[in-house]
Homo-oligomer: A and B are copies of this chain.
Amino acid sequence: MDIKTIELKKTILEDNDKDADLLREQLRQTKTFYVNVMSSPGSGKTTTLVSTIKHLQDGEAGGPISTGGPLRIGVMEADIDSDVDAHTIADETGAPSVQLHTGGMCHLDAEMSRQGLREIGYEDLDLVFLENVGNLVCPAEFDTGAHAKAVILSVPEGDDKPLKYPLMFEEADVVLVTKIDAMEAFDFAPEKFRENLAGVNPDAPVFFLSGATGEGVAEWAQWLREKVKNYLT
């Protein structure tokens, strides 16, 4: 599948927070739910998105979303360089994807989001994912205009990450722990992780997933489907 790549223009808006609020309102007009997915490099963002999208695309053909019908989903893949992720998404799910190149910047802001959303044709989509640049620092500091922020942590990274990157975990609306099939090999203690997370964000729901075995994906996809349904009604 042909993938469009957009070289993002740098925006230095005086008030990104205000612009992000505007973007959220703009997306509400077309009933598009926008999710910002953030994590370290290599934590399994793309793999998680592929399996999540497959779950959400399933549904009674033609049925409404409110009764479990399929969602129309798009993906924006942000990277410093390369377009491997957008190809993976498009090839494996058929979902419309655009590749965003940040030109060296380690985050996206609301206006950069808008450039990508315009390109992907958000008006005809129920749900758009942004796979943010792999980074646990800068992306946490910028509101992209998303309605929900999902933070992914992979088991090999260790259960201490909420201590070291507190803002990222504090900002999360939902936390996904991926690669749980590797838990024994990496000495990751789920209870320790929950304790570390509770120190900065006691309310975020946590889902434990494995891209390899598919474990946990249905539960997280169902949570997200409920979010979209509530947003639409």
By a beta-carbon cutoff of 8 Å, the part of chain A in contact with chain B is: 40-43, 79-82, 84, 104, 106, 133-138, 141, 154, 156-158, 160-161, 163-167, 179, 181-182, 185-186
Q: Given A133-B137, A182-B185, does the pair A158, B80 have CB atoms closer than 8 Å?
A: no
**Using Cβ atoms and an 8 Å threshold, which residues of chain B touch A81?**
163-166
Contact of A167 among B104, B160, B186 (CB under 8 A): B104
Say how far A143's CB is from chain B's closest CB, in angstroms.
16
Question: Oligomeric state, in number of copies?
Answer: 2
Contact of A163 among B43, B84, B137, B167 (CB under 8 A): B84
**A42 and B157 form a contact (CB under 8 A):** yes
Contact of A106 among B84, B106, B182, B186 (CB under 8 A): B106
Q: Given A41-B40, A157-B41, does the pair A137, B80 have CB atoms closer than 8 Å?
A: yes
Report 30 cross-chain contacts, Cβ distance below 8 Å, ordered by A residue: A40-B40, A40-B42, A41-B165, A42-B154, A42-B156, A42-B157, A42-B158, A80-B137, A80-B165, A81-B164, A81-B166, A82-B160, A82-B163, A82-B164, A84-B160, A84-B163, A104-B141, A104-B167, A106-B137, A106-B138, A134-B164, A134-B165, A135-B137, A137-B138, A138-B138, A154-B156, A156-B156, A156-B182, A181-B185, A182-B182
